[in-house]
Amino acid sequence: MVFIVKFLVELAIAPVCLWLAMKLTKEQGSFLLLLAAVFIAALVGLIPYVGGFLSFVVLIVLISKWTTAEIWPDAVLMVVVAWGLAAIANFAIKAALVS
């Protein structure tokens, strides 16, 4: 159940955060491709033990391939910010479910 909630929250938050980061850094890319990249990275993230690291790498690579962002620093910073916001959203949802 936790994996499903985390997966859905990441799919809802991360593409929007990545799209906003692209607009701030003046990079070009499609929202649908960002959604696809987040979906693929979230699926990779379900792999036990190494999924988190592999998900991070896959998302950076897909963003650099499907947008005009370079791997360093644009794609890395966009992924870190999107993951941070998704983690905050996951924490808020867990806190709301516990209370």
The tens digit of pLDDT for each residue in 34-68 reads 899 989 998 898 888 998 899 999 999 999 999 88
* pLDDT 10s digits, 16-33: 888 888 887 788 888 899
Q: Calculate Rg over the CA atoms of the chain.
A: 13
Give, in order, the Cα–Cα distances in Å from 46 to each of 22, 41, 51, 87: 26, 9, 6, 15
* Cut 0.75: pTM above it: yes
Q: Where are the domains of the chain?
A: 2-98
Give, in order, the Cα–Cα distances in Å from 48 to each of 3, 29, 72: 11, 31, 27
